[in-house]
Every structure is written in structure tokens, then in C-alpha cells.
Structure 1
Amino acid sequence: MSIQFRCSNPRRAQVLSTVAVAINGIDFLEVLDHDAPPGAPPQRTLLVHMIKDTPWGLGTANVRIEGGARVTQIKVEWAVRAADAAQSDVDAGRMTAAERAFYNGLGDANRVLVVRVDQDGDFSAYKLRLVRSTTDARPPVGFDAILSEVEFSFKVECPTEFDCAPDESCPPVETDEPVIDYLARDYSSLRRLLLDRLAVVMPDWQERNAADLGIALVELLAYTGDYLSYYQDAVATEAYLDTARRRVSLRRHARLLDYPMHDGCNARAWVQVQVDVVELTLPKGTPLLTRVSGLPPMVRPNSSQLTRARMARPVVFETMETVRLFQAHNELSFYTWGDERCCLPAGATRATLRGDYSATLAAGDVLVFVEKRSPRTGYRADADLERRHVVRLTRVTADSDPLGGQFEQPPTADPVAVTEIEWVAQDALPFILDLSEVQAPADDLEPGEPERQLASVALGNMVLADHGETLAPETLPAVVDPTRYRPALERGGITHTASADMTQPATQALRQFPQKALPAVTLLSTSGTWTPVRDLLNTDRFQTEFVAESDSDERVYLRFGDGRTGRLPLVNESFAAIYRIGGGEAGNVGAGALAHAVTTVDGITAISNPLPAAGGVTPESLEEVRQYAPQAFRTQERAVTEADYAEVAERHPEIQRAVATRRWTGSWYTMFLTVDRKGGLSVDAQFEAELRRYLERFRLSGQDLEIDGPRFVSLDIAFIVCVEPNYFASNVKAALMEVFSSGVLPDRTRGFFHPDNFTVGQPVYLSQVVATAMAVPGVRWIDTEAGKGKPTRFQRWGEPARDELAKGQIDIGRLEIARLDNDPSRPENGKLEFIMEGGL
């Protein structure tokens, strides 16, 4: 098999073969390699096929071989017509008898010129040309000038993986590139660039009038180029976390890094609603307004008073639950069982109310304890506004005091009905609440009020409200192309709120996590209700969920699913958006700021929030996302090792320190977690269940978890204290006992042995004890030397000393916590003794 090399103009060869013109030319050329007859050297015999019969006299002098890269100057040994190959050629040694027979036997032997060269060429292209003579390069007489030459290769039958057909495409004409300023990207520079180019290609056009059509087209192209340049820059800018400028882009980049960027969160407040009817129900979603001068507590919807209030731009809250209100709960008095100087201690979780409220007060209700009048002056204005605390009741029990009437003025023999209330430990009273009766000044008494009043009271009718105003339903544009449906809400600054648990402790109800807050938007359509989610990655194709994305201009765009992650809206489907606006730190209003309710319910006499609103957070800034998102993955989100469990547990807001121990329990490994709760609270069943729920998403599958409290190590400490000459020893000792107590001091600092000052594994250092004692006024020195007959002790209670005084510390195990309550009734909880010498 041989490859045919044809001339570069096959159309001309076809025409030449069909017309009656006495002009000949080369049709194609073959290089004999594997198909060469016996005796013929491979790749050195060329068969030149003519379009017409090869003329007589065409021989060696009329053939030239040109080209080559490495092998050049190839000479033609002989050339003869295939039909004219004779015995004389065989006798002369130019060819073998087999070759002669092969050439003579060709089907078109009269049209074939056999050419033998002295050597085979390389892999480059060669050209065979027919010339008149060795000195005249013109085509032979009677040959076409175009078809008198042909390109070929000697290596056509060498193995190759490419197509042997030559590429006959004509390369484009190379022209000089125009000089273009590629830095021109805005309107003015692009306009100048276009005019400069036109001055080169159209030098006769000199018009520069703005009304000229050419100038108008130039400016139109410059405008389009400016827009496209901005689009390219914007796309490139938004493609990276470090350069993105839009909140939507940064949110999606951060989500890829598993960082939940937040758009802020609204504030919450506990609001008291006082009524003058026996009972009424306040519905969920009732608007509450901050104080507007001259307006009553209750404002009717669509009234002139509401229009006036709107002009003052008040902050709007809305109730988060439906609540029953009772006139008897406007103000509840504490019952002190006849004690005139009574108080609720810090850490209290129970109290007694005067009156029987068992029919209207129940577990789950919320009360706020407030100091109504100053215990010293009796004035309302002097009351400490910080002595206010909210609690959620866990038990309400009716009772009576058979001697209660004896403390009335005048005394009676009638019993007094009381109600015992209890609340959760998380709502424990953080301060001392004075319950004593005070003499109210005459100029600070309302008509009909008694002169003797309790300094502190409890407020009922509490309802949780959050910042945000619900707007009227907004109709969104109809769906035309579901895949590109991205409607924008008319109002910006929508509310972001987290779900509320109405059973959690009241003090935790105001604590929110912005990362879990969702936009307060709901969509209604013919296909049902659509709810917002943070993203659609975990949404299936049937769920009616969407994402509300806030941009830098506070506009909110709604993004729907694509039919795989989230349901795709239907063509012509209509939506109505119901959403709230308002949020951020603007909702953190002070105590007493809320004063009006917009409702049709009659009977409301006063609105107030005894405690400041809290939880309002502004949207996370773009720079914060750039700083925090790349580091988000460093936060451990799984617990495998002991250190993992301890670190994850310490993220819980109620845990001060945790220690984990992995033990083999017979069939598998169990992780034992020892936790130190803040405030020295015990690890009860309720807290253990809550902590288990918190740790469940971190826990390693197949690994059991056991939670317990630490082992408390009671201390036994005794020192000799030398008192300064001008101080009473008893006063100095009382001061020492107070400083080394386990409670909170009157100045709200912690005592030395307060539970939060020590944690698991923390030793007790003698130097710290001495330094604290020496700081007490009146202490001259502390004797810490142990000796025969000396009462000095610094050791574990109930155990022999282990040279703790010599070492200067009491060692505490990794699962132990030092404790010293110095309670004479419970010496097993630690004992502290100071032997005073000197002084007065």
C-alpha cells in the first residue's frame, strides 16, 4: 500500500484532465516502500503519475528533488517512463527484471514517470519539480506551471498514530496588531481609545460634534464597554472572600467554610401588662410601643392616636405568646410571717406570697421581683433599679398562716392565706432582696395607699415580647421563569429572630444566639406556606422553603430551590409576603421604655418593662466575616478524645471547668465527664439531661457518656493571727471570717472560698491564704509555723496532715474541688479557725 501525494490544486488538475488542451501536469506521486518490487531499494523509487501520457524525452535532467531538513541535496539517478522500461535498463544495472516487469505492468504505464534517487530523505517535506533542464527551472514545454510540482514525504509508510491526510487549510493572513491601551476600562478612556483608532483607520473623518452620528455611536460603544468592564470587575471581585463587597457573596463564601454569618438579632423584653378587670386574654403578636408623650396605655388600631404615635417613630415590640392576665397579679406582696426585718437571701429559689393565688398562678408563669421603695428613705425614686430579677415558677402551693391575723393592725384571730412559690435554680436570686416594711413619706403616697408598705414586691402578668413590627401582606411579582425568580421585598431591615422556648428559665429567655436567628418572613401561595431557612443544602425537592438574603443596602432578596434542593416555584404562581421590620441594638431599650399596647382588648391600665430589653445584635460586619470565617474550621465540632469532651463541655454557659476520663467498662469504652458548674451548683438530673442534649451532636458514635459532679475535698485550716494594738480582735476576726467565706460579700465581690474561685484539680496555696488575710485591716501577722502544741492546721478535713504546711499547698486531685463552707452544722464541708492574739 502506498500513499498518493497530489498537487496542491486538485480542482485545476480535474479541469486539465477533462479539457482538450495540449497541456500536461502531475496528477499524484507515490513513494514505493513496502510495496516495492524485489530488488528495488525502499523509499528511493518515486512513481510520478501524469494527468496525460508522459511525453517522450522526459528524463533525469528534467527532475529535481528539493527540500528536506537533515537530508538535503538528493540527486536523481535516473528517470524513465514506466512503459519504456527495457531490458537495456536491466543490463545497465539500473533496475532488476522484477522491477521492469512491475513498471511495465502498471495500468497507466504510459502516464507514469519512474524516478530513482540516490538516497531516501528524512521525515520532513520534499518537493518534486519538473524542469526543462538542469539550468532552466521553467516547467517543461507542454506542462502546466502550477501542476509541474508536487510535495511528498519519503516516510509515508512509517508507523504513525496521526491522520496521513495533509492539512490543506489556508492559514489566515498575518497582520500587525493595532496598538491598543488595555488599561482603558471606563467611559472616558474607552471613548478616547475609539477616537484614536478611528483617526488611524479613517483619517479623513474629523468630526467631533456630540450631535454627529459617528460620535453618538462611539459614545454608545464606550458606555457599553464601561458597563462590561464594571461587570467583569464585579464578578472577579465577588469571587473571593478577601475582595467581595456584597453581603450575599460573603455569606455564601463563609457557608463554604462552614461559618454561619449572621444578620443580627432582635431584642427581647419581659413586659408587665396591668389590667383593671378580673381576667382578660392578650393575644400573641400584640404590638407594644415605646413611650409617646400624651398617649394612654391602650391605643386602638387604625385610630388617630396610633397615627400620632407613628409620627413619633416609636420602637415597636410584639408579644411572643398568648397570655392570661389577672387584676390580682398587677402587684403581689411577699409574706414575711410576721418578721419586720426580712429579706430574700442571694441564691434563693423560693418565697411566700400573701394571698391565695393557686387558682390563677401556675407553674411556668413568670414573676419579676422589684425593689419598689428604698428600704432607707421609703421613696420610690430612691429604689435600686438594679435590684430587679425575673423568675419562672416551677411550683405553686396554697397554704395559710394561722397566726397571721395577729400581725395585722389591729390584730385579729383570722388566719392569713399564703402561696408558696418556687422557681428553677437557674433563676436563683443574684442579690439580697429586702422585704421589710418601710414608712412611705406622705409626699410619695397615692390616694388610698397605706403608710406602711413593703420595700419589695413581685409583679405578675408578665409576657415575653420581642422587637419588630409586622407589616401588611405584600404581593410579590408573579413567577415568569422559576429558575431565575429572585424577588426583592419592598422594605429593608427585616427582623431576624430566634425561636423561643417558653419553658426555659426566665433569665435565659433574653439570651439569644444570632447565628441561629432566621428572618421573620413567611410566604403564602397557592401551594401552601413557605418558611425561611439559612440555606437549602439540606432541603429536599418537596419542601416549601426559601432563603432570605440581606444585601449591603439592607434590601432582602428571596432565593428558592432548583427542584433538587428545595421546591421550584410554579410558573405564574403568586406569593404574598408577611414579614416584620426592626431589629439590632436599637431594640435594647431601657427599663420602663415600653408604655403602650395597640389592641382592641379593653381593661389595660398600664404597660411597662421592669427590666431592660436585651439580646439585640447588629448584623455581622463584612470585615468580621473576613477575619473569622477562615478560622471557623479550627473550632472542634466533634468529641473523640478526653480533651475533646472537656473542651466541648466547657463551651456550655453553665460550666466552669470539665474533666473527661475514658474507661473500659467491660464491653466497651465509656467517657466519664466530671463537670464543675458555676456557682457551685450540683449536677442534678435536670442539668444532666440538658448537658446530654448539648453534647449529643459532638459525641462519638458507639461511645457511652456518663456525667457526674466533682468530688469535693473539705479543708481544715487554722492559724494564729496577731492583731494590731488599736483594733478589736473580735472585729478583725469577723472581717477575716467574711473575707474567707464561700458566699458573695456585700460589695458583690466573692469570698475567698467561693465555689467559682476554685475548680477541679486546682490546689490551695498557703501564700494566697496568707496574702488575703494580711490585706484585712488590723492583721499584723499570721503564724503559719507548725509546732508542738500549736493549733496551726492546713490540711484535708478528717485526714492526717501530709506536710501541706511545708509544701505550701494542699494538693487537689484532677477530679476534686476544694471546699470550705465553715458551717458549724456541717463541719464535713470544711472548717476554718482563727486564733486571735493581741489587739483590744
Structure 2
Amino acid sequence: MIYHCCDERRRRRVREHPVLNGIDYIEVLDADAVPLGSPRQRTLLVRFVKAAPALTVESFEITGGERIADVRIEWATRANAPNPLVTTPLEQSFLVALPDPEEVIALRTSSSGDYSTYTLHLVAAAGAIVPPANIDPLLARVDFSFKVECPSDYDCAPNDLCPEPAEETPQISYLAKDYTSFRRLMLDRMAQTLPQWSERNAADLGIALVEVLAYVGDRLSYAQDAVATEAYLGTARRRTSVRRHARLVDYAMHDGANARAWVQVRVGGADPVPLARAETKFLTKVAGAEPIVPPPAADPLFERLLLQRPLVFEPCEDKQLFALHNEMFFHEWGEGECCLPKGATRATLNGDFPDLAVGDVLVFEEILGPHTGRTADADLHKRCAVRLVQVAAGLEDPLTNPPTPITEIRWAEEDALPFALCLSARTGREFGERIVGPVSRALGNIVLADHGLTRTGVAIGTVPEPHLFLAANSGRCMPAEREAVPPRFAPMLAEGPLTQADDPPAPEIPASAVLVQALSAVRPQIALDSTLPGGGGERWIARRELLNSDAAAAHFVVEVEADGRARLRYGDDRHGKRPASGTAFEAGYRVGNGPVGNIGADSLAHVVTGLGEIVGVRNPMPARGGREPESVAQARVAAPQAFRVQERAVTPEDYAAIALRHPGVQRAAATFRWNGHGHTVFVTVDRFGARPITEEFEVELLAFLEPFRMAGYDLEIDAPHYVSLEIELLVCAKPGYFRSEVKGAVLQVLDDGVLPDGELGVFHPDRLTFDQDVYLSAIVAQVQAIDGVESVTPVVFRRQGQPDPAPLESGVLPIGRLEIPRLANDPNFPERGKLTVTMGGGK
């Protein structure tokens, strides 16, 4: 056959003809020849369109080949009646068992040929170019290969025997990038192809078409330049582009976080009031509005108030409220001029509060000025929130008649009072020197709320039908098909900025650690519900990225632009599911984000609720935690350095540096030791405030270090080796100063606590750490700076219990790599260091 045709009409017509016949196809026995004992690739099975005609060896001729060109036919036999003189019994059985063996003639060749293409001809006689009688000319030859069964890494069948001629590429100037240059380029091209057209009038149809095409080219050129600009981190302008570039180097660009606040909800009545998170909202002050706003379902007032753009906060949890907890005062045990000292973690409330529970949050606030006794003079900064860890209600003060009911409370160490809280005080002389109180109070019914307004059932669009198609890569004989280009569907939310927040905190987390959220934990507060054209649907969940989403995951990504608008991006059926055309989406999301939510104290004044027992709302403390989204400039600086952060621990210095990332670790040092079968890493930790290495902290730190640990290395947490100091000073007081007062000042400065002005003492644990030599000159300088000190003479300066004069002579006491100096001067623990001050002079 010398033509390549896309159908088999000729073959069908030959099959229907009463006389004509021809070759249908040919098979080369390769692996199937082995069980028959036949030579591989030398037996050809020629199948005819109809019953095979009576042909001899001379009727067949093989041409072609490159390395082996002379391939001859040794014998030919009909498959339904094999010649026993040239075939073996196994070959005879195989040929007879072929489907329709009367249509097959078996040929044996002299060679197995090479890897090129051969052609089998049917000829009337040896050397003739015409086929035998009654053989169709087009079906009298067939191309084949002896190596058709040889392994191949690709489909070797020819699929483009009649390729389209290559078109000549026109001469194009790639310097043309704007309207003017495109117009000039097309006019020059027209001058070459249509020299008889010389019209240049703007009203001419040809000029109009040229200018329209130049305009389109200018727009396309701008689009290409924009794409090229967004292709690199250093030149990208859109925040989304910078975000994706940063992700390639494992840097997650954050979108900010919303603010959180402690809100007191005041209630009335004797019964508990259930506050539902989903049905309550708090608003900042709106002129002319009442404190209680009806819910949107009952009254359109809420939507009208939103037109004045108040900030909206919503509770993070459901809460049981009690009128008895609106205001609680401290019990002073009959004393006066009392205060809770800085660092306190327990107090006594005046009254029985059986509904106070572990996990509840109280806010302490000063309500009177201690010096004046006036409400207006109360210090607004003396407000703090504490998380209760122990409550003992039902107690009494036995010295009162009748006994006064009291409630003992204790809160977390992390919530220790950051200031001294005055409970009662004596006013100044100008204000009568009278005892006033209560100066401070405790507020209950505290609810954690965060910035953001919930919107539900917002239609964001329907996935369109495809309108662009690509030609399928099919052969010339395949039916013309086109492949639909998935339509772009990246809806943008109508309102913004989209809230970025973490899940509500667990009830055991201290109150001081709740308001500020970790940026690595916040997520966009949005979820989608899809509805398919034929019914049914599913919930779509927001993710930071789709790299870990499989093809069936209903996930999407929120990408925030520089103006705060949020656009949604879906998957591509490889990483994340692509929504089908016709799918309608509804969104539920929250609006409100960033530092605008960091409102001041007492900014919340309205509550949207349907509960009649709620009488008011306020936030005693400022909201905190609102963060701006990371800017493009910040990401350009931080992203290239992100992958340089060590995320594995190899050397001892690595373990120490990673341990410092833990918020409870001040300093750390690490040591490798051989344990007989491997290495153990001993991490020696200096905690803030010289806190002990408890079992709970050790478990927490081991879990923190585990992701960075090298395989084959064990981890152990050690306490530091404390070096107790022994110091004796001879201090001479100035004339006119009392020696006792000067000595007290010296002992206070050289203490291991916090000074009255908030400064740390010289030997406070947070001022001392590993491998920190102690210099005598620094101690003398601190004492010499005290008012009333004339001179200072060191007498003893050494490690406790080691009579070594070298430190006193050199002025330096060396400290080892795993050692920390300490001097507590506590008579209860004399082994923790001793300070002796001998006074002279003064009076």
C-alpha cells in the first residue's frame, strides 16, 4: 500500500468483492516461536482479507533493510494445511489452531533482519512489479519490522505520516513593545506583502484595523511585562506574588492577627445566665445607642448601627454568668491599709462564691485613688487578669460575729500580680488622713472576646463553564477533538479585612498568655459550602497552602492583597480539588483584623443579645494582639534568610541555641557524653528566676527539642551547677548617716530579689548565668554608689567553703561553663551563699 489513509473503505470493498483479495496484516513470530522450536523473528504469518489464494514462494518478495538488505523467502505454506516437509509437528499444530487458518499463509525467511522497516510484496513472478491476478494493487504490499516485539520506552508506531508543511516564520522585531512601534511594524509588513496599498488616512479601514491590532498588541505587551515583573521576588509588586515566592524558600508570609480582649458581661437575677457565643456580639461606643441591642433577627437596629462603623467583638466561648460575680471585694481579715504585694498568686474574697470554678478568669482593678480616696484618681494601669487554678468556697472568718463567709482563690504563677494592688489605704493629710476602702475589687463574669464580625450565607459566585479550548494532541486520522481549559474562578470577598485568628485557647492556659496569638498558629476565619448543579455539596476548609492536599481534598487558600482584600484560590486536581463548573459557593467568614482592634479600656459599651438578664458590658483592660499583615518589604528582607535558620541540632552549640527558643529558658548549655553504646546530649538549663527543673518542665522541654534531635542521640535535661559565693565587705558610712540605714541599703542592693524601684538586685538570678565570671570591682562600684557610703573594703571574696585567696587578690572569681554564681544570703539556706557587711563610720 503506497497511500496512508484514515479509513478502511478500500479493505471493506475488497472483502465484499467476489474475486479480489489482498493482505490484511502481517505478524512476526518472536517469543511465541520459542515453544515451537522455530527460529525467532523468522516466521511471518500473512493474513489475507479473505481465504488465502494459492501462492508459492516466488509470489512473495521482501525489500528494505539497512544493515541486512537481502532477506529471502525459504518456504511458504497454508496455515490450514501445513506442508509436513518444511514444518515440524509443533509448528503444524500451532498453525492449524490459529483463528481462521484458511486466511493465513506462513513464510520462513532466511534472516531475522535488522531494526529498520521492511516491505512484503505480492508479485506475479520473480522480479515483477505487478501483483498476481485477483490481488488488489493497494493491498499487495505491507510494511513490517522483524523487531516489533523488542522492548521500547515509547510508542514506536508512526503517528504523523502526512505532516503539515512548516510555515515560514515572518520577520518580527522583538523591540516593538508599545502602540507606536506595533503600528509601525504592521505598516512595514503591509508594505512588503501589499505594496499596492499605500493609504495612510486615519479613516481608512485598513489603517483602522492596524491601529486596533496595535492597541491589542500594546495591551498584551503590558500583560507580558507584568508577568515578567511578578516572576521574581525582587521585582514583584503584588503581595500574592511575593507570598508565593517566599513559600518556595520555606518562608510563610503572615496576614496579621486579630485582637483579643477580656470583657465583663454584667447580669441580673438569681439564676445562671447562659451566654451563647454564636448569638452575642460586643460593640464599641456608638453615640445615642442603648447598652443592650436586640439581635438582628428581631430588630434591624444592629445593621443600622454598623453603618457608623463600630468595632465588633465576639465571644470566644460559651459561658455561664452569675449576678453574684459582677463585683467581688477582697477580705482584709479585720486589718487596715492592706495590699496584695507584687508577685502575689493568692487572695481571699469577702463572701461565699460557690459558682467560682477553676479555669475562670477574674480581673482585678483599682477603683479609688489610695492617696485621695476619689474614684477619678484610681490608677487605670492597675488592672490585670488572672486565671484561677484553685478555689475554696464555703469558708468563714472565725473572728467576726457572726462569722463572715469568705472564698480563698489562687491563680497561675504566670499570672502573678505585676504590681502591688492596694486593698485599703489612709489618705493624705490634705484629704483627712482617713481609712478608705475597698480601694480595689475583683470582677467576675469575664469572657474572652476577639475582634471580628461573623457573616454567614454570603454568595460568592458560581464556577463558570469553560469558554477556552485547546486542540488535542491527536493523530491526523483521529477525530478532531478539543480540550477544555478549566475556567478561572478566584472570587474576592466583598467585605474585609478577613479575620485571622487562632482557635480559642484551652481553659488551663494562663490569662497572661491568651491575648497575644502566635502568628504561626492563626488561620483565616472562613469556610465555604458548595452546591453542585445536580444537588448535593460539601464543606470546603481553608488551608495555608495546598502542597499537602491530595487531589480529592476540598481545600482552598486565602490570599490577601496589600489593600486587605481577600481572594480565594482553589486546587488544580493535583494539589487540592478543582471545583466543577456550575458549582455554587456560599461563604461564612469574619470581618475585622489588625491593630485597629487594639482598643483601649472601657471602649466596649454595647452588647447584641436576646437575653434580658444582661444589663451591661465593658472591657476593663485594653485589647491586645492585633497585628498588621506582613508587608512586601518585610518579606523581601526576611524570606531569603528563612532557610538559613538551623532546624536541626548537630553540635552542642546547636542544642543550646535551640533550647533558648523555649519561652521558659533564659540560658542553656549542652554537653556530649559517650554512654557505652551511643551519645547522650545533656542540656543544662537556666530557667528564669532560677526556677527548679521540675518533672513537668523536663517533659515539656524534651518534647520541644525532639524535632531537632539527631538520630542515635539521647536527650537529658540537667539543672545548672550553682556556685555559692562568700563575700565580706567593710563599709565606712559618711558622717551624719546612720550605720544601720546604710547597711540596710547595702544589703538591699546586693540582694537576689527585686528592688523597690523595679530594678533587679546585683545577685538576682536573671542577672547571672553560665560561664559568667564575678568581678569584685562591679560589686564595689554598686555599693560605692549608695548614698551615705564613704568607702568599701573587700575582706573576703571566694567560693563558699573554699579558703582560696586568689579571687580576692585578682578581683575575679572564675565560673565554669556549666556553673552559675549565686548569693541568696538567706539564713534558712546558708548553703546558697553568705554576705557579711561590717559597718564603720557614720553614727
8 Å contact from structure 1 (residues 804, 810) kept in 2: yes
Tell me if 1:495 matches 2:487.
no
Tell me if 1:275 matches 2:236.
no
The answer for the alignment partner of 1:704 in structure 2 is: 714
Tell me if 1:505 matches 2:500.
no
Give the match's secondary structure for 1:381: helix
Compute the displacement of 1:678 (Å).
Answer: 1.9
Tell me, in whole angstroms, the C-alpha distance in 1 between the residues paired with 2:799 and 2:338. 37
Residue 460 of structure 1 is aligned with which of 438, 444, 458?
Answer: 444
Residue 816 of structure 1 is aligned with which of 813, 819, 826?
Answer: 819
Tell me if 1:298 matches 2:292.
yes
Query: Which entry has the higher C-alpha Rg, 1 or 2?
Result: 1
Residue 670 of structure 1 is aligned with which of 660, 680, 703?
Answer: 680
8 Å contact from structure 2 (residues 689, 765) kept in 1: yes
Give aligned pairs, total. 653
For residue 740 of structure 1, what is the amino acid of its counterpart? L
Tell me, in whole angstroms, the C-alpha distance in 1 between the residues paired with 2:392 and 2:723. 37
Tell me, in whole angstroms, the C-alpha distance in 1 between the residues paired with 2:529 and 2:379. 49
Compute the displacement of 1:172 (Å).
Answer: 11
8 Å contact from structure 1 (residues 439, 453) kept in 2: no
Give the match's secondary structure for 2:681: strand
The answer for the alignment partner of 2:381 in structure 1 is: 386
Residue 793 to residue 483, structure 1, CA distance change in 2 (3 Å): farther
For residue 280 of structure 1, what is the amino acid of its counterpart? V
Q: Which moved more, 1:261-270 or 1:556-565?
A: 556-565
Compute the displacement of 1:489 (Å).
Answer: 2.2
For residue 359 of structure 2, what is the amino acid of its counterpart? G
Indicate the percent of aligned positions where both proteins have the same amino acid.
51
Tell me, in whole angstroms, the C-alpha distance in 1 between the residues paired with 2:428 and 2:277. 38
The answer for the alignment partner of 2:306 in structure 1 is: 310
1:207-606 matches, within 5 Å, as 210-278=202-270, 279-285=272-278, 286-302=280-296, 303=299, 305-357=301-353, 359-398=354-393, 400-405=395-400, 413-437=401-425, 452-479=436-463, 480=465, 484-502=488-506, 503-525=508-530, 526-606=536-616
8 Å contact from structure 2 (residues 246, 253) kept in 1: yes
Tell me, in whole angstroms, the C-alpha distance in 1 between the residues paired with 2:780 and 2:697. 37
TM-score, normalised to structure 1's length? 0.73
Residue 442 to residue 727, structure 1, CA distance change in 2 (3 Å): closer
For residue 239 of structure 2, what is the amino acid of its counterpart? R
Tell me, in whole angstroms, the C-alpha distance in 2 between the residues paired with 1:692 and 1:296. 54
Give the match's secondary structure for 1:634: coil
Residue 399 to residue 809, structure 1, CA distance change in 2 (3 Å): farther
8 Å contact from structure 2 (residues 825, 835) kept in 1: yes
Tell me, in whole angstroms, the C-alpha distance in 1 between the residues paired with 2:710 and 2:357. 40
Tell me, in whole angstroms, the C-alpha distance in 2 between the residues paired with 1:556 and 1:441. 61
Q: Which moved more, 1:416-425 or 1:548-557?
A: 548-557
Deviations 1:403-458 (A, max 9, x none): 341xxxxxxx2222222212222222222222225679999xxxxxx994222222
Tell me if 1:795 matches 2:798.
yes
The answer for the alignment partner of 2:839 in structure 1 is: 836
Compute the displacement of 1:198 (Å).
Answer: 5.0
Tell me, in whole angstroms, the C-alpha distance in 2 between the residues paired with 1:339 and 1:816. 45
Tell me, in whole angstroms, the C-alpha distance in 2 between the residues paired with 1:442 and 1:211. 95
Give the match's secondary structure for 1:697: helix
8 Å contact from structure 2 (residues 261, 450) kept in 1: yes
Compute the displacement of 1:466 (Å).
Answer: 1.1
Compute the displacement of 1:628 (Å).
Answer: 0.8
The answer for the alignment partner of 1:129 in structure 2 is: none
Compute the displacement of 1:346 (Å).
Answer: 2.1
Deviations 1:779-815 (A, max 9, x none): 122112xxxxxxx222233443352212312222322
Unaligned stretches of 5+ residues in structure 2: 1-126, 128-162, 467-485, 531-535
Deviations 1:725-749 (A, max 9, x none): 2322222222222222222222222
Tell me, in whole angstroms, the C-alpha distance in 1 between the residues paired with 2:199 and 2:610. 74
Compute the displacement of 1:523 (Å).
Answer: 0.9
Tell me, in whole angstroms, the C-alpha distance in 1 between the residues paired with 2:613 and 2:518. 36
8 Å contact from structure 2 (residues 373, 436) kept in 1: no
For residue 289 of structure 1, what is the amino acid of its counterpart? L
Compute the displacement of 1:322 (Å).
Answer: 0.7
Give the match's secondary structure for 2:731: strand
Tell me, in whole angstroms, the C-alpha distance in 2 between the residues paired with 1:330 and 1:653. 34
Tell me, in whole angstroms, the C-alpha distance in 2 between the residues paired with 1:238 and 1:203. 42
Tell me, in whole angstroms, the C-alpha distance in 2 between the residues paired with 1:457 and 1:441. 25
Give the match's secondary structure for 2:727: strand
Tell me, in whole angstroms, the C-alpha distance in 1 between the residues paired with 2:213 and 2:248. 39
Tell me, in whole angstroms, the C-alpha distance in 2 between the residues paired with 1:821 and 1:341. 30
Compute the displacement of 1:510 (Å).
Answer: 1.4
Give the match's secondary structure for 2:376: coil
8 Å contact from structure 1 (residues 287, 599) kept in 2: yes
Give the match's secondary structure for 1:466: strand
1:173-184 matches, within 5 Å, as 182-184=174-176
Compute the displacement of 1:275 (Å).
Answer: 1.4
The answer for the alignment partner of 1:629 in structure 2 is: 639
Unaligned stretches of 5+ residues in structure 1: 1-106, 108-168, 406-412, 444-449, 785-791
8 Å contact from structure 2 (residues 266, 616) kept in 1: yes
The answer for the alignment partner of 2:69 in structure 1 is: none
CA RMSD of aligned residues (A): 3.1
Deviations 1:741-782 (A, max 9, x none): 222222222221222111122222111111111111121221
Compute the displacement of 1:617 (Å).
Answer: 0.9
8 Å contact from structure 1 (residues 272, 609) kept in 2: yes
Compute the displacement of 1:265 (Å).
Answer: 1.0
8 Å contact from structure 1 (residues 295, 305) kept in 2: no
Residue 660 of structure 2 is aligned with which of 634, 637, 650?
Answer: 650
TM-score, normalised to structure 2's length? 0.72
Give the match's secondary structure for 2:456: coil
Residue 690 of structure 1 is aligned with which of 676, 700, 705?
Answer: 700
Compute the displacement of 1:604 (Å).
Answer: 2.0
8 Å contact from structure 2 (residues 321, 445) kept in 1: yes
Compute the displacement of 1:484 (Å).
Answer: 4.2
Residue 705 to residue 546, structure 1, CA distance change in 2 (3 Å): same
1:728-807 matches, within 5 Å, as 728-784=738-794, 792-801=795-804, 803-807=806-810
Q: Which moved more, 1:271-280 or 1:566-575?
A: 566-575
8 Å contact from structure 2 (residues 371, 428) kept in 1: no
The answer for the alignment partner of 1:638 in structure 2 is: 648
For residue 326 of structure 1, what is the amino acid of its counterpart? F
Residue 801 to residue 461, structure 1, CA distance change in 2 (3 Å): farther
Tell me, in whole angstroms, the C-alpha distance in 1 between the residues paired with 2:415 and 2:684. 23
